[in-house]
Structure 1
Amino acid sequence: MVRPGGHGPGGDPVLLVAHGSRDPRAADATRALARAISAARPGTPVLASWLDHTEPGPTEALRGLAAAGHRRAVLVPLLLTAAYHRRVDIPAAVAAAQQSGPPIRVAVTDVLGPVGDEVDRALLAGLRRRLAEADPGRFDALVLAAAGTRDPAARASVGRVARALGAALGTPTRVSYASAAPPAVDVAVQRLRTAGARRVAVAAYFLAPGLFHDAVAAAARAAGAVAVAAPLTDAPEVVDLVLHRATAHLPTTRIDHAG
């Protein structure tokens, strides 16, 4: 175990912040990812926290790290778009952690989704892994199913992932959303089938299982999809992506909130 207050990517604790869900499977998936990251980087404390529904929240977790003697931490948002939770909720949680107790400097990394126009190869590899696990066959067309957001920039980032995934697979790819924006997954699947696709698969742009993914899977299969991928959860590529975010952003994009 690294002594509190250690410096550098190997010594600073990594705090994962997930969205949170009423479905206990979601928290279990986040804990599994934390264990996988810890196993991949021995000696680095890796903790999980949630913005809603599950404890601890990121503010409580950061206060706990500060009380234990850590002076720095790396916070990785387990989010696939840089929408409201990344722009508002996470900075507010970090600021709240500084209102009392020992100071702790927090490096907040980018989300796991696209940064600008770049779609990380590890993210695409994780999506491809889950698709191959669902059905190793060949697809005529693909739908990338996401949770949904009203943020136009966030939706644009989902579109970039769909285009990059389609290009990597050589397959026409469309986007669908489980909430907040059209089209729904069954509509997207039906449109592709009407256009002549015989084998339509659905890639799940979700980090954890839950009601949204369950609904997507049921609607996609009812519309004729031949395969629906599982969420990314603790895929090795997601572990690599989190570690890349933690190490690459600490020295260059640190957001410090020192008391």
Structure 2
Amino acid sequence: MRAARLTSPAATLTGPGAAGGADPVVLVAHGSRDPRAADATRALARAVSAARPGTPVWASWLDHTEPGPTEVLRDLAVAGHRRAVLVPLLLTAAYHHRVDIPAAVAAAARSGPPLSVRVTDVLGPADDTADPALLAGLCRRLGETRPGRFDALVLAAAGTRDARARRSVGRVADALGAEFGVPCRVAYASAAPPAAGVAVSRLRASGARRVAVSAYFLAPGLFHDAVTEAAGAAGAVAVAAPLTDAPELVELVLRRVDDRRVVASTG
């Protein structure tokens, strides 16, 4: 793996560290071949940094885009930081949260100076509850599409084979439906049925006349493109944009940073 090039506009390696300032925050996204996804993560990092002056904020990716979290953590340790907070930019606590992120943190511990790393909850439901900020962000993006009156919703997510993760998506759908007072069904872009077009068609077949689609995505990319195309072909009146750097998502990231409950830690 190539060495990381830490050129994030949101932070510098110097500054708080051994001096006792704010612990750096490392955002970890899944990664995508689509450059729009990395751009969205960088925009979120800048927004989080702007909302928390004095806190270094770094973007990293598990795949496809550099730097990875191992490189960022190792370089922070070399620069003199003693602690860091790692926030998974994930909406479900599935394989990447359980396996890939701990492996990245462990690799940094093996290859660099000591660094205590606190890994937070994912951005999706923690303790079986969808954060109000997450719901508010979804509502914002849906409202931006100006869908008019709708009588049913689809919450379209990326997809996972993890049954527990799918249940967490279902809880968000239930909460979103309750927010608008309409039925809300889950759809997936991969790994699990139903697809977005199928979910829209089923709601229309059951009597819904105007079905809108909420995008349970953090960034644009091929999955969101596929959802948009399929839902539109099935008759959806609107498909929301991903959360990207919505103010509510920034608030949620900072809540995770400030939550002292330890999901995982090293050092």
Query: Residue 204 of structure 1 contacts residue 228 of structure 1 at CA under 8 Å; is this kept in 2?
Result: yes
Q: Which amino acid aligns with 1:255?
A: A
- Paired position in structure 1 for 2:265: 256
May I ask how many residue pairs the two structures share in their alignment?
Answer: 254
Residue 257 of structure 1: CA displacement? 1.9
Cα shift at 1:117: 1.8
Confirm or deny that 1:84 pairs with 2:95.
yes
Q: Is the 8 A contact 2:125 2:168 kept in 1?
A: yes
Q: Does the alignment pair 1:51 with 2:62?
A: yes
The CA deviation string for residues 120-154 of structure 1, in whole angstroms up to 9 with x for no partner, is: 00000000000000125221100000000000000
Provide the residue aligned with 1:15 in structure 2. Answer: 26
Q: Is 1:125 equivalent to 2:136 in the alignment?
A: yes
- Following superposition of structure 1 onto structure 2, how do residues 69-218 of structure 1 map, counting pairs within 5 Å? 69-218=80-229
Question: What SS does the corresponding residue of 1:174 show, helix, strand or coil?
Answer: strand
* Counterpart among 11, 14, 17 of residue 4 in structure 1: 17
Kept in 1: contact 2:147–2:212 (CA 8 A): no
Shift, 1:196, TM fit: 1.1
**CA distance in structure 1 between the partners assigned to 2:111 and 2:36 by the alignment:** 33
Query: Take 2:213 and 2:99, find their aligned partners in 1: how far apart are those partners?
Result: 31
Query: Which whole-Å CA distance do the structure 1 matches of 2:112 and 2:87 have between them?
Result: 22
Q: Separation in 1 of the partners of 2:184 and 2:146?
A: 16
User: Which consecutive residues of structure 2, in runs of 5 or more, have no partner in the other structure?
Assistant: 1-13
- Hey, what does 1:41 align to over in structure 2? 52
- CA shift digits 1:191-237 (9 cap, x unpaired): 11111111100000000000000000000000000000000000000
Runs of 4+ with deviation above 6 angstroms: none
Q: Which runs of 5+ in 1 are unaligned?
A: none
Take 2:194 and 2:263, find their aligned partners in 1: how far apart are those partners?
A: 37
TM-aligned CA distance change 1:242 to 1:190, over 3 Å: same
Over the matched positions of the two proteins, sequence identity in percent amounts to 76
* Secondary structure, counterpart of 2:110 in structure 1: coil
What is the CA RMSD across the aligned residues, in angstroms? Answer: 1.1
Cα distance in 1, alignment partners of residues 200 and 211 from structure 2: 7
Give the TM-score, by structure 1 length: 0.96
| Secondary structure in structure 2 of the residue aligned to 1:86 | helix
State the secondary structure of the residue aligned to 1:256: strand
Q: Would you say the 8 A contact 1:2–1:11 is kept in 2?
A: no
TM-score (normalised: structure 2): 0.93
**SS of equivalent residue, structure 1 residue 74:** strand
CA deviations 1:28-84 (Å, max 9, x no partner) are 000000000000000000000000000000000100100111010000000000000
